[in-house]
Amino acid sequence: MGMKMYSKSVRFPEDLAAFVEQQPGEDFSKKLVGVLREYRDGNERRQADIRFYDAQIAQRRAKLRELTDKINSASMIYRRVEALVNEVDAAEQECP
């Protein structure tokens, strides 16, 4: 199956032309096509990576919320126990 090719005249900076020339390929057109394909495919990979890391972040945020809730619960229990200990101490000091 053949690939339809487009012929375009494009102007771009010399430094980008030099970059394209440094790429593997037989001629400038094939080198430029290689750069564009790498960019396109790399963009798809980056988007997949972003989705993966977003999912990882969501999982870690959920775990962090769970741990924060447990810490808050433990802290509340500690404060209640401390209050009870203080009440017992106060009651003991009142007794002869």
Span 42-62, pLDDT tens digits: 988 999 999 999 999 999 999
Q: Is 89 within the bounds of a domain?
A: yes
Q: Is 13 within the bounds of a domain?
A: no
Q: Is 81 within the bounds of a domain?
A: yes
Q: Which of 79, 60, 87 is nearest to 71 (CA)?
A: 79
Q: Is 16 within the bounds of a domain?
A: no
DSSP code string of 22-41: TSSSSSHHHHHHHHHHHHHH
What are the distances in angstroms from CA 61 to CA 14, 25, 55, 58, 75?
47, 46, 10, 5, 21
Q: Is 58 within the bounds of a domain?
A: yes
Number of domain units in the chain: 1
CB 84 within 8 A of CB 91: no
Q: Is 5 within the bounds of a domain?
A: no
**What distance in Å separates the CA atoms of residue 15 and residue 26, rounded to the nearest whole number?**
19
Q: Is 1 within the bounds of a domain?
A: no
What's residue 1's pLDDT?
52
Q: Which domain holds residue 32?
A: 24-94
Q: Is 36 within the bounds of a domain?
A: yes
Counting as low any pLDDT under 50, the low residues of the chain are: none
